[in-house]
Structure 1
């Protein structure tokens, strides 16, 4: 089927890139809360709260929040969600009979 492991890895990587719509490798450096707060024009505390609540995409390294500027920018430029759609939390709640 496949001649070697390297060819199989290449094919899997190409398929994942096609499905995810981009490159799997990025040279972008993650920025800290201070840099993202300056970019957004908010306080560092507000940036951390927005990361904790999932308003902006972020991840933790140890006890520090890190952000990819391109992901934050793409998230903020995305069209807003329809406010009338039912949330996942509401969908999974048990109804009183």
Structure 2
């Protein structure tokens, strides 16, 4: 999350989800938005950079899905379409 000072107050100008420890899915934005709305700073209303994570069911590694190709970068197996990359 990146913050900037605008019109004498702090705003959120960048929000991303590429945490390789937690690997949050893109639908986690709703929870982020609720938290920001409670605190009050202006925010972009969406992730400014989204990463799609999946865990390979063959080798167990976590992969980033690139260009909508659900293929494990480690072993070449197909990745599931549904999010499964959590702890």
TMscore range, shorter length: under 0.3
Q: Which has the higher helix share?
A: 1
Report the TM-score, using the length of structure 2 for normalisation.
0.24
Q: Which has the higher strand share?
A: 2
RCO higher in structure (CA 8 A, sep ≥6): 2
Report the TM-score, using the length of structure 1 for normalisation.
0.22
